[in-house]
Structure 1
Amino acid sequence: MFAFLIVQLGIVQILHGEAAQKEIERTEDTTTANPVPRGKMYDRYGRLLVDNKPLYSITYTPPKNVQPSEKLDLAEKLAQYIDKNTDKVTEWDKKDYWVMQNREEAYSRLTPEEQELSSKEQYYAVIEKVTDEDIKEINENKQVLEILAIKRELDQAPALTPHIIKNQNISEKEYAVVAEHLSELPGINVSTDWEREKVYGETFANFIGGISDHGDGIPREKVDYYLSRQYSRNDRVGESFLEEEYETVLKGQKELIEHVTDQSGKLIDSEVVREGKQGKSLKLTVDIELQEKVDKIIREEMKKIIDKYPRNKYLKDGLVVMSDPKTGEILAISGQRYDHEKHEFTDQSYRVVYDAHRPGSAVKGATVLAGYDSGVINIGSSFYDAPIKISQTPEKSSYITLGHVNDLEAIAKSSNVYMFYVALRMGGDYTNYRYAQNVPSKVKDSDKTLLELRNYFKQFGLGVETGVDLPYEATGYKGDSPNPGLLMDYAIGQYDTFTALQLNQYVSTIANGGYRIQPHLVKGIYNSSSDNGLNSLYKSIEPKVLNQIEMDEKYINRVQEGFRRVFQHPNGTADHVFNSKSYNPAGKTGTAQNEIYAPNAKGEIEKVADVENLTLVGYAPYDDPEVAFSVIVPNVGLESGDGINLQIGSRILDAYFDLKEERQKNGISINNEQENNEND
């Protein structure tokens, strides 16, 4: 029995002793999550827009309970092998380093009262006593500053979680040298990280958006939101536009690793418990080839006006949205800004959803429809277009006296006076109107009439959110003065302001027969991409109807005919540009008066210029619309616009139908992804 027990004890000690001791010392299992490459983005024809560019990366995975002195020692060693940008090194970092190097002298500065404080409070008191003279040598020593920059990154690394120390501009030599010395750099590793690469440069880059920088992690204002969704503080997340809106789709499934530590916090073992998976990819609604052409057209047409009228310094922006009016899919969305001092353009397409402008006569379709539905006019109703004046308001008129006009002629010729009568009749009995008369006693309160008219406009998306799949969009400015004169201004688009995206939704609603459809930039979500393009479909984004216009279909048909006459009838305001087009277009022009104000030498705000906003909305073909568009060119000089809105509208429609014809010849269809990928 003794012999047997001795043999068994020997087996336990010799063969299984080490494993048994580890099991005894095991104290805690900790799971960490390693990030994976984000999902890619493609245009509607499967062309790659956003990729993941691999980068060399140096990371630090700290054990538990690592001491500041250990991190400083590691930073000093690592600084021998890599260069590190020192821009983020703070005064606090420098003072902290000086205290660590001169601890005895630093703490000798404490007063007897301060020596009674807690260790933490003593430390803060010591830091406060470090002078500029103390850290002067640190400021002048580049090598020390690099050590501090590295230590700063080491300090930010959560226990047992890889944290990027450097992945920008790492040379092959740095990567190789660090890899060679890993044995003397505890916690340091070399790996591959990813950087977002926008394949088409500036084109559509605004709406792709951005992600947080390396080392910055989750934005402070959203920490709670992301931590509650199992993110780590140092995770890079989408910060704007599509990267932010579809963050949870693009981020992918992290790799989970379980770490086992002993009583001292030393790592005993690690095991992958879940493989990582790249984020899902987005197939966008945008046609990147059309987008490039639209960007170029806006710049070319703006440059013509800028070169011809160099004194007009207020013309800066050209805004365009093109969409499918039946589905809400955005085909192209562009905003180009001109810098008069640098004489160059920049892509600022976000202004399409953020900047609101007076639209002018482009909204008259909504005014006429409000008149029909409220019963103040009928199909064929006519008024005499001549200057109109109500007591205590300025005279108002159309651009010329048009005489008798019916509803179709009012749209085609863009009669302001016709719209004035619609608004005034919605407010009361104006059948016996006389020039300069007082407001009749039967008239409703102007604020109620304005509210009623606004409610009609909202049905088309004017003055409300369009619902586009972006984190934020503007809804425009609402004036707060409801007097009769401003009520008439509202009816012709001279009061409230709207975005180019709102105007696009408005004209799309008219084009498709009265359905306000949510615009969207993502067509489908696909499983993790391979090198060969899109993978299998995970989720399709279907058209969403936000509301249907609550009025008789014949009224919408009547306004559609009015829009057709604007573009194709001899009396139409855009007939001279669009009447020869083979794709049968329809739409509405707009001109809105605007004023530019700026501070004078005394700091007082004064008007410095009278300008115009030139707008255009439309769609084609008239009888079966497949593309709708909106154009806004704000702050064009008076009489110096040269129909830039019409020229842009004409050229972008030409571009759309030319591309369509070319693709039909080549057999390319957005519904045949495999064929598209092969063609690409």
Structure 2
Amino acid sequence: MDQNEKKKKKKQLPMRLNVLFLTVFILFSALILRLGIVQIVEGDMYEQQTEETENIVTKSDTPRGKIFDEMGNIIVDNSPVFNLTYTALQTDSHAKKLEIAEKLAKMIDKDTSKITERDKKDFYIITRGQQTLVDQKFTAQELEEIKSKHEEVKDADREIYTLLLERITEKDLAEIADNELEILAIKREMDRGFALSPQVIKEDLNKKEIAVISENLSELSGIDIHADAARISPYEDSVAAIIGTTKQIPKEQQDFYAVRGYDLNDYVGTSGLELQYETLLNGVKEKKKYITNKSGEPISEPEILAGESGKDLVLTLNMQFQQQLEQAVEQEILKFRGAGVDSAYAVVLDARTGGVLAMVGKKYEGGTFKNEMYGTYLYAFRPGSSIKGATILTGYEHEVLSTGEVIYDRPLHFGGTTIKKSYGGRSLGHINDIKALERSSNIYMDYIGMRIAGFDFDRYQCTIQNCTSETNLEIAINKMRSSFQQFGLGAPTGLDLPYESIGYNSGKPNAIGHPMDFSIGQFDTYTPMQLAQYASTIANNGYRLQVHLLKEVRESRPDEELGKLLYRFEPTVLNQIKVDQKYIDRVKQGFYQVTHGSQGTATALRSYPVAGKTGTAQEEKNGRPVVNEVFIGYSPYDNPEISFSIMVPKMHTEVPVNRTIAEHVLKIYENLKTTPYEVNSGIDNKETQKIEEVEETGEELQ
């Protein structure tokens, strides 16, 4: 390399270094400028972002769905109310809450009945000073011993507080004045809430309270007046028992609802339809999403996610039918009070769908009527001869009875037991299955019970080994129970309420007379709802339909009109009884003869197109023999639209109150048919059904 080239390279090197230094200088200048902008101009924004700790979502209630009857009349609605609410910040102390509660106590009246002893003790400690009370109720040595037991100070403090609660006496609590109890009641509600979630302090404020609080809201941090809705019903006296109630989530169910997205201070259905269809009626809450700083204070306006009102329910109940039948039942109870009648139950079903049109329970007590609507599905009674249709078909199912078989009805004598006989003790002579239903023969049914148990009375011998042993008697009773369950007797009806009785099983038989007692309705017990389903099963040629109250689910509307249809309950066949149609036809003919035959036991109803069966059962009340009067039936007999049951329990004297109430059912229904009256399409009873497969067709509600 020559000298010229070397000199040229030496000159280029400083120039490159200068360019490099200049570039670095420019880059550092830009970096310093950017840091200055970040620190000076945008510093507050980034500082705020670094303090953000979490997103908090709060929820606001939306109106529960309304409930309508089948004609579109509102049964349950929402009435606007104004509630006092408190929304706590995460940083709110007991002292701050106490200060607010003291102010509110001067503005509202607050119920103090829910205050517990523990509430009072906590309040006493807060208001009297924890340290002051500790100094009064502990010696220095005690405190030292407690502190020496624990490595962590908080553990020692926890033990001291627990012991302090135990040492607060009734005399101490008596120092809490009445006005302080109101303060406590208010603070108690404030403590139940969660951060940034409105907690109801008092429901349904009056106008004066609203005015006073509104004037002082600036002094009441976190306090607001919240528009809400209370459940009301124009038919509360009639249907309150099945509609049910809404309350704050019970403690024992908090885990159940928490995993389903509920807040622990939410109101939910706790009984009846409000509980059964909680997920439909409750709706979706409005949500507000907050971003908070380290202190738990919101640092921006919340993001709002709109809520949705609960769905509306349309029931199968017809409130016009319901109320007229209630009046009729009360009228008949008063008419027959002299015979010891003090209660009665009636159920009317749509025979084509299984829908409950009316369910009435009335009890006369203390000079007034008590609504026992729930008795129609929770109370069980001996049904007497009303179940003899099921007995006849059970005999055919187990092949102990031949078509139209004639049996000689006369008193049956058993050694050491009560004589078995038909009503009045007289002989009814030679009768077949249809005549046995028309005249309500006990002996005909006794033969069926004996034969299923393996006993031949005419030869007075067993047809199977050891037929009178307890084991074989139990087998016989269980066979009959299994057959009866096909009709819904001793089985769930499918009624869509949280609880339903399936009747009372009278236990193991220990005498040959027990299968006979079972065959005439003098052993197990059933509810009026089960008896109505049994009547429906006969009316529907052996197809048992699920009993239900829900007819439709609809979108909610702000007015009193029905919204868009979302779901309609379809008739659901639970099972088909295991006998040929020719046997069912004979029972239906027997039921027709009960009301229209020359010797029928309910010919007082012959002017109506009704078929059915009467029943009288013996029970006891306060150690005294009493009777239940029963009637089950369906109408019209040639193409049934309704089925029904009447139960008048524990009367002193037999009177025809069962038939007079049945007449009211038929008369009310006929009158309603002259007005617009919708009956859902369902099973056509006019001809024998050709259903190839028995299956549930109802769509499951989630």
**Global fold match (TM > 0.5):** yes
Residue number in structure 2 paired with 1:484: 512
Residue 3 (structure 1) shift: 10
> In structure 2, how many angstroms separate the alpha carbons of the residues matched to 1:272 and 1:4?
37
Contact 2:344 2:363 in 1 (8 A): yes
Distance in structure 2 (CA, Å) of the matches to 1:291 and 1:246 = 22
- Does 1:219 pair with 2:250? yes
Q: Deviations over 1:199-222 (max 9, x none)?
A: 22211221111111xxxx211222
For residues 420-450 of structure 1, what are the alpha-carbon distances to aligned partners after superposition, in whole Å with 9 as ceiling and x for unaligned?
011111222516345xx89985737211111
Q: Give, as a single letter, the amino acid of the residue that structure 1 aligns with 2:581.
A: E
Would you say 1:658 and 2:686 are equivalent positions? Answer: no
Retained in 2: the 8 A contact 1:45–1:670?
A: no
| Candidates 291, 294, 299, aligned match of 1:263 | 294
1:166 to 202, 207, 211: 202
SS of the residue corresponding to residue 322 of structure 1 reads strand
Partner of 1:678: none
Which of the residues 617, 624, 628 maps onto 2:632?
617
Describe the SS at the equivalent of 2:313: strand
What residue number does 1:142 align with? 178
Report the Cα offset of residue 255 of structure 1. Answer: 0.9
CA shift for structure 1 position 7: 8.7
**Matched-pair contact (CA < 8 Å) for 2:455–2:463:** no
How far did 1:11 drift?
6.8
SS in 2 for 1:615: strand
Correspondence list, 1:187-586, <5 A: 187-212=222-247, 217-306=248-337, 308-309=338-339, 312=340, 315-339=341-365, 342-399=366-423, 400-428=426-454, 430=456, 432-433=458-459, 443=467, 445-482=472-509, 483-575=511-603, 577-581=604-608, 584-586=609-611
> What SS does the aligned partner of 2:98 have?
helix
Deviation at 1:183, TM superposition (A): 2.3
Asked if the contact 1:391–1:438 (Cα under 8 Å) also holds between the matched residues in 2, the reply is no
Q: 1:63 aligns with which of 89, 95, 120?
A: 89
Task: Kindly indicate whether residue 643 of structure 2 is the aligned counterpart of residue 633 of structure 1.
Answer: no
> 1:533 offset after TM fit, Å?
1.3
> Alignment partner of 1:503: what SS?
helix
Tell me how far 1:484 sits from its aligned partner: 1.1
Q: State the alpha-carbon separation in 2 of the partners of residues 669 and 297 from structure 1.
A: 23
**What CA distance in whole angstroms lies between the structure 1 residues aligned with 2:380 and 2:60?**
43
Question: Residue 616 of structure 2 aligns with which residue?
Answer: 591
Is the contact between residue 468 and residue 521 of structure 1 (CA under 8 Å) also seen in structure 2? yes
Change (3 A) 1:567 1:178: same
Contact 2:246–2:270 under 8 Å retained in 1: yes
Paired residues of 1:463 and 1:476 also in contact (CA < 8 A): yes
Secondary structure in structure 2 of the residue aligned to 1:397: coil
How does 1:77-92 map onto structure 2 within 5 Å? 77-92=103-118
1:675 is aligned to none
Task: Write the letter of the residue equivalent to 2:334.
Answer: K
User: 1:541: how far off?
Assistant: 1.2
**How far apart are residue 8 of structure 1 and its match?**
7.2
8 Å CA contact 1:567–1:585 kept in 2: the answer is yes
Q: Secondary structure at the match of 1:658?
A: helix
Deviations 1:356-379 (A, max 9, x none): 000000000000001112221122
Distance 1:5 1:446, change over 3 A: closer
State whether residues 521 and 617 of structure 2, in contact with CA within 8 Å, keep that contact through their aligned partners in structure 1: yes
- Supply the AA of the counterpart residue of 1:535: G
Asked whether the equivalents of residues 348 and 359 of structure 2 are also in contact (C-alpha less than 8 Å), the reply is: yes
Q: Which moved more, 1:272-281 or 1:247-256?
A: 272-281
Aligned counterparts of 1:580 and 1:449: Cα–Cα separation in 2: 40
Using a 3 Å threshold, how does the CA distance of structure 1 residues 270 and 364 change in structure 2: closer, same or farther?
A: farther
Residues 101-142 of structure 1, C-alpha deviation per residue, up to 9 Å, x if partnerless?
33233011223234525112111212222233333231xx22
Deviations 1:224-280 (A, max 9, x none): 211110111111111111110000000001111112211112222342442111100
Using the TM superposition, give the Cα deviation of residue 542 of structure 1 relative to its aligned residue in structure 2, in angstroms.
1.1
Match of 2:8 in 1: none
Aligned residues: 637
Residue 192 of structure 2, aligned match among 156, 165, 172: 156
Equivalent position of 1:600 in the other structure: none
Contact kept in structure 2, 1:476 and 1:496, CA below 8 Å? yes
C-alpha displacement of 1:6? 9.5
Say if 1:39 and 1:529, in contact at 8 Å, map to a contact too. Answer: no
Q: Which AA in structure 2 matches 1:106?
A: L
Give the share of equivalent positions with the same residue, in percent: 41
Q: Secondary structure at the match of 2:408?
A: strand
Call closer, same or farther: CA 1:318–1:269 in 2, change over 3 Å.
farther
SS at match of 2:397: helix
Matched, 1:643 2:656: yes
Query: Aligned partners of 1:14 and 1:206: how far apart in 2?
Result: 69
Determine whether 1:94 maps to 2:94: no
Displacement of 1:466 in angstroms is: 0.9
Q: Tell me the TM-score normalised to structure 2 length.
A: 0.87
Give the letter for the 1:631 counterpart: I
SS in structure 1 at match of 2:600: coil
For residues 467 and 119 of structure 2, the distance between their equivalents in structure 1, rounded to whole angstroms, comes to: 71
**Secondary structure of the structure 1 residue equivalent to 2:175:** helix
Unaligned runs of 5+ in 1: 598-606, 673-680
Q: What's the CA shift for 1:496?
A: 0.1
Which stretch shows the higher mean deviation, 218-227 or 626-635? 218-227
Q: Does 1:186 align with 2:214?
A: no
RMSD: 2.2
Compute the displacement of 1:669 (Å): 3.9
Moved more, 183-192 or 262-271: 262-271
Q: Measure the CA separation in 2 of the matches of 1:646 and 1:269.
A: 72
Match of 2:13 in 1: none
Q: TM-score, normalised by structure 1?
A: 0.90
**Structure with larger Rg:** 2
Residue by residue over 1:300-345, the C-alpha shift from the partner in whole angstroms, topping out at 9 and shown as x without a partner, is 1011111x34xx3xx4321111001221111001111110xx2100
Contact preservation (8 Å) 1:612, 1:636: yes
Give the whole-Å Cα distance in 2 for the aligned partners of 1:131 and 1:376.
76
User: Does the CA contact (< 8 Å) of 1:48 and 1:533 recur in 2?
Assistant: no
Query: Does 2:175 match 1:175?
Result: no
SS of 1:268 mapped into structure 2: coil
